Chains A and B, each alone.
Chain A
Amino acid sequence: MKIIIAGAGAVGTHLAKLLSDEKQDIILMDENEEKLSKLDSNFDLMTVNASPTSISGLKNAGVAGADLFIGVMPEESRNMTACMLATNMGAKKTVARIDNYEYLLPKHKEFFAQLGVHSLIYPEMLAAKDIVDAVKMSWIRQWWEFCGGALVLIGTKMRETAEILNVPLHELGGRNIPFHIVAIKRGNETIIPRGDDVIKLHDIVYFTTTRKYIPYIRKISGKETYPDVRNVMIMGGSRIAVRTTQYVPDYMQVKIIENDINRCNRLTELVDDKIMIINGDGRDMDLLIEEGIRNTEAFVALTDNSETNILACLAAKRMGVTKTVAEVENIDYISMAESLDIGTVINKKKIAASHIYQMMLDADVSNVKCLTFSNADVAEFIVKDGSRITKCAVKDAGLPKGATIGGLIRNGEGILVTGNTIIHPNDHVVVFCLGMMIKRIEKFFN
């Protein structure tokens, strides 16, 4: 697959590396030669030093034969222009990164498709949705719904109070348990568990289950003492913060702490009246105490500086905040932040990259999410008629090691999968696998 990525910024380079490891033909465009030169001699991709909005530049990059054109430059308008040019010059599909909520409205979708921009991606909004999910379920580290919530994925950290520690998984209740453990994150390692694996203290365990058994999972994980979140404190009035306030449910009280007075004034124009904006430094403990950090259940750090976010979350944790969320843009810091006990780590690049990655999958995958904590991918497939997986029971299908089926949705109803389950055509199947194995697994469902 020939993919042209316009813009060698953080998202562009992350995506380029990811896809070139996947043996795709990657052409990375940017005007800045310095940004490209390092990538060119270290990764298996081609760089074109030209402006992605120049017609001759696009021609040079071979846009006529491109299967996918991805515009991830910092400016929204340039991404849109580049995508329009690319479509008219022969690119099959285009994706533009945008910064405007209006464009995403469903009624505009067709208009943009006519212009030649087939998909839009708004990383700040995706991040905001993740943050709100994390805050709503404070005892959960990761939360993901499949098929409108028929099946849910829950990631939570095991504390001393958990009931399922040190028991081999096959002894947990056999076939009748209402959940399936799809992945275990231990230290820096991600395990796709088998029957004789055990859960240890401080593991992050990923369950799939149906909605009505969530309280049961909460009970066996020993998280019943966690308070529900009513008060949220956001440090840093970034664009993600603005989007977050939009998705927060009504029963939550939100305070945004922002250091820059001009930004504060601007924020007042951007957010609802019930959001309180406080001008001050989020690292100032006295200010936090004065603003009631001791009665706050969730602390979200969204400044531009990853280090500040991590440290601020740790400080908040000391003050008794149960749920912390930190935006960490430095990918190498993610696993470190996670081991420091920060509840949820948000990374715009990873969110955007996994979103785009999903678009290039050939199969009917409607939902791929990169689990930011671990190396694992979650993918949802619609099983086609006559595919390999339908021919025998799951345990005999020969799925590669490091992949597991978390559950399936048949006629809108979530069903958990055991070794003896037989998968029917048109089932939605939720698959978990290590690394970027999705391409290999796709074969089983087509």
Chain B
Amino acid sequence: MINTKMIARIMSSLFFIETGFLFLCSLLAIYYNEPDIPAFLISTAITAGAGGIVSLFAKNAEKKLNRRDGYVVVSFAWIFFSLFGMLPFYLSGYVPSITDAFFETMSGFTTTGASILDNIESLPHGLLFWRSMTQWIGGLGIIFFTIAVLPIFGMGGVQLFAAEATGPTHDKVHPRIGITAKWIWSIYLGLTLAEVVLLLLGGMNVFDSVCHSLTTAATGGYSTKQNSIAAFHSPYLEYVITLFMFLGGINFTLLYLLFLKGNFKRLFQDTEFHWYLGTMGFFTAFIAVTLFLNGSSGLEESFRKAIFQVVSIQTTTGFSSSDYMTWPPVLWVLVCIIMYFGACAGSTTGGMKCIRIAIMSRVMKNEFKHIIHPNAVLPVRINRQVISPTTKSAILAFTFLYIAIVFISWLILMTLGVGFEEAYSVAISSLGNVGPGIGECGPSHSWSGLPDAAKWLSALLMLIGRLELFTVLILFTPDFWKKH
């Protein structure tokens, strides 16, 4: 059964970590001397208090964590992080409704990037920074961050990693999970810092470049401007951000091999990376040509708009450099298709991930072959390794569940009074952690117009999507809670 004490122990240390981040934002608020200071200080105190109270329940915990405990810890960690994380928004009065504050925070931690704010520029620096920070923490995962900085989990770390990590396969760069986490986070930090420098060179101010770097590396999509990247009117900044969104969408294990081991071959031989590049190239070319032929912009501008938007949507970041709702409608459909794809497993992105698309397309190809050669034994190979039937069926189940959830949520959202295309795009965008939708929920609008119930559903979808469906949904199955 569930080891409540050990879970409490882990939860309390997670709360203390969040306390640390909130305190950092308090300092920033004090530095800018803006009206959000009390909100941050109270939130810090509440979170620290919660950590203290929970740690009381953790006395004499048996230091063992089984598979079930792992799923409980991971799901609840994300929910509680969002609950405490929304306090600054709510207490400062800038987001007066609890629904909106929770939605905004969950959208941050899951790196979705959908916002209910209609006037982002009016927020004080502290809150804007906290908004970006939530995405940065959530980018590689809350638990994964904790594994990197605290050695507290011991053996349990592996179970938690397995429950939180995305993608059908889990690569490690080092035999010990703690050290793996440290390396991956160093790469992440390195990407963020490199982007800060490049953005500064492009003339962005320090605060904006830090905030945008945090949300780009995390492929989150929160901007400090209501018009997102379009507000800067700078092709250079758009290309820089495109590059870092692209890097954030690559499997971090491969980035580790590339940057720290100088191993180019491994990256360019990776099947998933081929699919990532291939799909991205196709979508970019399609959109660029359509825009160019449509005559609304020149060749370079068409290409820049196309590649920025494709990378932004495929890596599930959700920045926008132009409103794609003003493009020809055929491209809206394309945007919806890209939202399904996502980038690579083991990156900071959402969606279904290229690896799953790659495996499924080969399974499909094999089915055709099988009709012609009924006795043929047809393996599915990824990176020269044969994929086991268990993995294949797990991926098929994942895909079916993914599509089923989109359609069921679509139905529920429309019952709640959301429009046809808005409901569809909210469902798929939330589940894929993308950010913008289409129609009234498009890049130039916020999601504040959605009914409250729709916002809660959307927040739930974000969590389900971020933890790759099964980790959250398993908690809703009666079998999980049975004692035997």
Q: Whose C-beta in chain A lies nearest to the C-beta of B153?
A: A44
Instruction: For B155, give its contact among A2, A27, A44 (CB under 8 Å).
Output: A44
Instruction: For A42, give its contact among B158, B174, B385 (CB under 8 Å).
Output: B158
Q: Whose C-beta in chain A lies nearest to the C-beta of B177?
A: A44
Complex-state Cα separation, A33 to B172, whole angstroms: 16
Complex-state Cα separation, A20 to B179, whole angstroms: 14
- By the criterion CB–CB under 8 Å, are A34 and B388 in contact? yes
Q: Whose C-beta in chain B lies nearest to the C-beta of A17?
A: B155
User: Which residues of A are found within 8 Å of B388, using beta-carbon distances?
Assistant: 33-34
Instruction: For B175, give its contact among A21, A25, A41, A42 (CB under 8 Å).
Output: A25
- By the criterion CB–CB under 8 Å, are B385 and A43 in contact? no
Q: Does A23 contact B (CB under 8 A)?
A: yes
Q: Does B159 contact A (CB under 8 A)?
A: yes
- By the criterion CB–CB under 8 Å, are B159 and A2 in contact? no
The answer to whether A45 and B159 touch (CB under 8 A), given A33-B388, A34-B388, A40-B170, is no
Q: Does A80 contact B (CB under 8 A)?
A: no
- By the criterion CB–CB under 8 Å, are A46 and B174 in contact? yes
Complex-state Cα separation, A26 to B180, whole angstroms: 13
Q: Whose C-beta in chain B lies nearest to the C-beta of A45?
A: B175
Q: Whose C-beta in chain A lies nearest to the C-beta of B385?
A: A49
Q: How far is the CB of B384 from chain A (nearest CB, A)?
A: 10
Q: How far is the CB of B70 from chain A (nearest CB, A)?
A: 9
As a 0/1 sequence over residues 343 to 360 of chain A, the CB contacts with chain B under 8 angstroms (1 = contact) are 000000000000000000
Q: Whose C-beta in chain A lies nearest to the C-beta of B179?
A: A25
Residues facing A in B50-84 (CB within 8 A) are 67
As a 0/1 sequence over residues 174 to 190 of chain B, the CB contacts with chain A under 8 angstroms (1 = contact) are 11110000000000000
Interface size class for chain A? 10 to 19
Q: Does B157 contact A (CB under 8 A)?
A: yes
Residues facing A in B320-377 (CB within 8 A) are none
Instruction: For A46, give its contact among B67, B159, B162, B175 (CB under 8 Å).
Output: B175
Complex-state Cα separation, A100 to B177, whole angstroms: 38
- By the criterion CB–CB under 8 Å, are A41 and B176 in contact? no
Number of interface residues of B (CB under 8 A): 14
Query: Which of B157, B158, B159, B170 has the most chain A CB atoms closer than 10 A to its own CB?
Result: B158
The answer to whether A44 and B174 touch (CB under 8 A), given A33-B388, A34-B388, A49-B385, is no
User: Which residues of B are found within 8 Å of A49, using beta-carbon distances?
Assistant: 385
- By the criterion CB–CB under 8 Å, are A41 and B158 in contact? yes
Instruction: For A44, give its contact among B67, B158, B170, B385 (CB under 8 Å).
Output: B158
- By the criterion CB–CB under 8 Å, are A41 and B157 in contact? no
- By the criterion CB–CB under 8 Å, are B176 and A25 in contact? yes
Residues facing A in B144-198 (CB within 8 A) are 155, 157-159, 162, 170, 172, 174-177
As a 0/1 sequence over residues 15 to 54 of chain A, the CB contacts with chain B under 8 angstroms (1 = contact) are 0000011010111000001100000111111100100000
Complex-state Cα separation, A20 to B170, whole angstroms: 18
User: Which residues of A are found within 8 Å of B157, using beta-carbon distances?
Assistant: 44
The answer to whether A41 and B162 touch (CB under 8 A), given A33-B388, A46-B172, is yes
User: Which residues of B are found within 8 Å of A20, using beta-carbon distances?
Assistant: 175
Complex-state Cα separation, A389 to B424, whole angstroms: 73
Q: How far is the CB of B71 from chain A (nearest CB, A)?
A: 12
The answer to whether A26 and B159 touch (CB under 8 A), given A40-B170, A41-B170, is no
As a 0/1 sequence over residues 95 to 132 of chain A, the CB contacts with chain B under 8 angstroms (1 = contact) are 00000000000000000000000000000000000000
Q: Whose C-beta in chain A lies nearest to the C-beta of B163?
A: A41
- By the criterion CB–CB under 8 Å, are A27 and B175 in contact? yes
Q: Whose C-beta in chain B lies nearest to the C-beta of A46?
A: B175
Q: How far is the CB of B240 from chain A (nearest CB, A)?
A: 35
The answer to whether A42 and B159 touch (CB under 8 A), given A33-B388, A49-B385, is yes
User: Which residues of B are found within 8 Å of A23, using beta-carbon distances?
Assistant: 176
Q: Whose C-beta in chain B lies nearest to the C-beta of A41?
A: B162
- By the criterion CB–CB under 8 Å, are B176 and A43 in contact? no
Q: How far is the CB of A16 from chain B (nearest CB, A)?
A: 10
- By the criterion CB–CB under 8 Å, are A43 and B155 in contact? yes
User: Which residues of A are found within 8 Å of B159, using beta-carbon distances?
Assistant: 41-42
- By the criterion CB–CB under 8 Å, are B155 and A21 in contact? yes
- By the criterion CB–CB under 8 Å, are A44 and B162 in contact? no
- By the criterion CB–CB under 8 Å, are A26 and B158 in contact? no
Q: Whose C-beta in chain A lies nearest to the C-beta of B386?
A: A33
Query: Which of B155, B157, B172, B175 has the most chain A CB atoms closer than 10 A to its own CB?
Result: B175
User: Which residues of B are found within 8 Å of A44, using beta-carbon distances?
Assistant: 155, 157-158, 175-177
User: Which residues of A are found within 8 Å of B174, using beta-carbon distances?
Assistant: 25, 46
User: Which residues of A are found within 8 Å of B67, using beta-carbon distances?
Assistant: 42
User: Which residues of A are found within 8 Å of B158, using beta-carbon distances?
Assistant: 41-44
Complex-state Cα separation, A442 to B331, whole angstroms: 68
7 CB contacts below 8 A, A to B, read A33-B385, A41-B159, A42-B158, A43-B158, A44-B155, A45-B175, A49-B385
Q: Which of A's residues lie within 8 Å of B, judged by CB?
A: 2, 20-21, 23, 25-27, 33-34, 40-46, 49
Q: Which of B's residues lie within 8 Å of A, judged by CB?
A: 67, 155, 157-159, 162, 170, 172, 174-177, 385, 388
Taking A26-B175, A42-B159 as known contacts, 7 extra A-B pairs with beta carbons closer than 8 A to each other, sorted by chain A number, are: A2-B175, A25-B174, A25-B176, A33-B385, A41-B162, A41-B170, A45-B176
Query: A-B pairs with the 7 shortest C-beta distances?
Result: A46-B175, A25-B175, A41-B162, A46-B172, A44-B158, A26-B175, A44-B177
